[in-house]
Structures are given as structure tokens and as C-alpha cells.
Structure 1
Amino acid sequence: MHFKTIRASNSNYTIEIPDTCPHCGKNMESEQINDVYDRVAKTVALIFRCSINDCHKYFILEYSVNKTTVDTIASFGQLIQYSYNGFQEPAISENIKNLSPVFSETFVEASIAEAKKLTNISGIAYRKAFEFLVKDFASYQNQEKIEEIRTNSLNNVIDMFYKDMPMIKDLLHITRRIGNDETHYYREFTDIDIKDLKKLIYNFSLYINMILDIKEFSQKTN
């Protein structure tokens, strides 16, 4: 932060402003373009432009107003922090959150990475989330073998603990292979992407939800 003299509501004020541009991240001396004083909210929005030649993007700094006279600002208050975050967290059922907290956390983090176009890491994170969901559900159904499930490979867990559910077993192996593709140097499935991986994970989560709902409502109706 550094001090800068700006003009707002026809008067000059010296205030603290950020040293760097929120767009390019470079140190710059911002150029003030305009100001908007909100008498109801008691805030003033200052419109600036980055001075870096290859940026020149606009941004807004909004400050609270400590005191006012009849028509003007007497003094500025604190800078109001903005967060331009349009990310919508993926819907994860309470069943899944309770069954596999790490899956839920990792899946959200993968979604954030995907929203930021970080496709080199988002696919890997979805693959990791998937493994937690598969192993946590297998552990839920086989309480006496949790340690075996924890230490075994994902491939072996699918073969050993989903063998009595052939369609689900097939779904999990397909998802595993697509997920593994996100971690390898050579991509095997060039016509399949992260959206397909997420779709298959979602299908497995629907199955888990169904099983857990059946158990819950069977207990309630017996």
C-alpha cells in the first residue's frame, strides 16, 4: 500500500491504495479515472486504470466514508475488500460428505482448479477424489477390512470389494482408467475429457446415495 492524492466529490484527499494492479499483478502508479459517492451506503468507489503499458485495465477501489458534511466527504475510512469469485461449489449430498469428507473437499478443490482453467492439475485432483470415494464406500461396507482397503491399490480394491456388483465394478474400472489418463505422460483416450470423468464419478455417487437412502428409510419404516 502507498499514499496517493485523489479527487472525489470535488475535493482532494490523501488515501492509501494498493501498490499492484489486481489484473496483471505488477507494481504501478494507478491513474484515477472517476469516482462515485454513495450517500446512502456511505461509501465512495474510485475508478482507476493500470499504468502498465501491456495492461491498462480498469479496476475499482471502494472505501467506507468516516465523516461527511452536507455535500462532501470529510474523511475516508477503510478499503472495502472485493472478491470477484463467480465460482459455484459443486452440489455434494450430505450422504457423500458424511461418508467421504476427503472426497468432498478434494472434489471441490478440483472444481476450483477447473474453473480457473488449471486443467493440468484439475484432472489429477478429480482422480484423487474418486479413489477416496471408492475406498471409503468399500470401507463402509466392509468395516472389518478397512486397513486392507486403505493399503491396497485402487485397482485391487475395485476387484476385491465390488466383485458382487458387476455393473458398478465396470463403471469404477472405466472411471479409474480415464482418471489415470489425467496423470500420465501419454494420453490414451484423446476423445474423452474431464467432463466425462466427472460424469462417471457423479454416477457412482448416485449409486452410493441410493444405497445409503435405502438403508436409512428401511430403518425408519421397519
Structure 2
Amino acid sequence: MVKRRINLHPFEGGSTFTTLDIDIPDLCLRNGEHMTPDVLYGAADRDKQNFSVLLRCVDCGLFFNRQYKLINRGDGNFTNYRVGTEIDLLIAPKIATNVPDSIKKISSDFDKIYNQAMQAESYQLDQIVGIGLRKALEFLVKDYAVKQNTAKADKIKSDTLQNVINDSFKDDPRIQSLATGAAYLGNDETHYVKRYETKDLKDLKRFINSFISIIDMNETIDETLRMRAEGK
């Protein structure tokens, strides 16, 4: 970081209303080279609670900005502005994963991990998306297996994913087949050499989504069976 003095302008524009010394990054966000960026403009928000600074790399010309809290330690007749903490400008786009409520109830961890994997994909982090999906799959498989057989919860949680798939879903070949296929493709995403070279992330997501759909369907069927039983 390097300290620079900036002139801070009001939200509406116009003359400088205060001057501040702030710490700004001395690395280019594009190439990582050390440099001292040009300070182009500083402006507060409407309520003078925060302010932003527009910067430019002196080497490549990349524009970027930083945002900080603006603290006024004065009183009604006197202003004494100081720089507060820097504000994180990373705004993650909301990804609509449409995970059914029934799945969230079975495995809240799956929902969290799956959403993070999809978030990574939105940032084009294609080398880690599959790893996240593989982890999400394991949580859903094991949590669903535990729901089906709570007496074996400890064994299920500590066993390998494939053993859980083979043992817990042997009476439902559709779930067993989908979970196995998704596990194979998920494992491929973590290995140096891929076993299924004709398959990719799209197939892994398709298998997991189909796995989700069958579980959701089973949960809905169980709900209607309970409803009918209670109605008798």
C-alpha cells in the first residue's frame, strides 16, 4: 500500500470539501506489477457516510476504484473528517440454483456448497467448479442416506461415498445409478487424468440435477402417502 492525498468532492459535484490521506494499493490489478496509481477523483456519497476514489494504473491504464467509510469527528458547527475502514467492493451476482425446499431440508450443507460451486462458475473459475460439485454431491448422498436409515448414521458419515451409494440405495437402482455416475464425473474433476474424457461439467451438473429431481419426487410421494394415511 502507498499513502496518497486526495481532494474529496460532494455527491452533487462542485468544490472540494475536505482533503484526506488514504492508503491505496501499489499493485496493478491486471498484471500484479508494483506501481503508484494516478488518483483521478474522489467523491463522497449523498450522506457523506462513505467515499470512493477513482484510480488508474500508470503502466497499463487500467481504471479501478476503492471505497472507504467516511468518519466525521466534528460537531454541528465544525467538521473533522477522517478515513474509516475500506469497504469490500466485491458484489457477487445472485445465482438462481432453484434447489427444492425438500433438498434444503435434507441437506443444508449441500445447498450451501452447491450454490458456492455455481457462484464459482459465474466467475469462470472452471477448474474448481467440479471439485465443489463433487463435495456437494457427497453431502447430499450421505445426508439423504442418513435420513433413510438414522441407525447407521455414524457408519454412513465415515464411509466412502461409493460404499454409501452401493449400500444405502441398493433397492433404488435409479438413485444408485445417478449417484454413481455423478460421483464418477465428480472424481474426474479432482484427478490429473480424466477417466471419462467425453464428459464435462455440463454432464456432471445434469446428473446431479437429475439426482436432486428424483429425491424431490420421492419426498413428495412420501408426503402424499402421509397425508392419505392421516386422512383415514
Residues 40 and 55 of structure 2 are in contact (CA less than 8 Å); yes or no, is this contact kept in structure 1? yes
**In structure 2, distance between residues paired with 1:192 and 1:86:** 29
Give the equivalent residue in structure 2 for 1:179: 186
The more displaced of 82-91 and 129-138 is: 82-91
Task: Report the Cα distance in structure 1 between the residues aligned to 2:162 and 2:67, rounded to whole angstroms.
Answer: 53
Residue 4 of structure 2 corresponds to: 4
Structure 2 counterpart SS, 1:85: coil
- Structure 1 regions of 5+ residues with no counterpart? 68-72
- 5+ long unaligned stretches in structure 2: 10-14
Contact 2:20 2:83 in 1 (8 A): no
**How do residues 41-56 of structure 1 correspond to structure 2 at under 5 angstroms?**
41-42=47-48, 44-51=51-58, 53=59, 55-56=60-61
Secondary structure of 1:209's aligned partner: helix
For 1:20 and 1:94, locate their aligned partners in 2 and report how far apart those are by CA, in whole Å.
46
Identity of aligned residues (%): 30
Task: State the Cα distance separating 1:49 from its structure 2 match.
Answer: 0.6
Return the letter of the residue paired with 2:199. I
Q: 2:98 maps to what in 1? A: 91
The residue that corresponds to 2:21 in the other structure is 15
Verify the 8 A CA contact 1:61 1:79 in the aligned structure 2: no
Equivalence for 2:144:
137
Kindly report the root-mean-square deviation, in angstroms, between the aligned alpha carbons of the 2 structures: 3.2
1:208 aligns with 2:181: no
**Contact 2:8–2:20, Cα closer than 8 Å, also in 1:** no
Whole-Å separation in 2 of the counterparts to 1:61 and 1:185: 39
> Counterpart in 1 of 2:107?
100
On the 8 A contact 1:22/1:59 being kept in 2, the answer is no
What letter matches 1:81 in structure 2? I
Name the TM-score, length of structure 1 as normaliser: 0.77
Is residue 44–residue 65 contact of structure 1 (8 Å, CA) maintained in 2?
Answer: no
Aligned match of 2:66 in 48, 53, 61?
61
Which amino acid in 2 is paired with 1:7?
N
**Alpha-carbon distance in structure 2 between the residues aligned to 1:151 and 1:7:** 60
Structure 1 position 161 matched with structure 2 position 153 = no
If the length of structure 2 is used for normalisation, what is the TM-score? 0.75
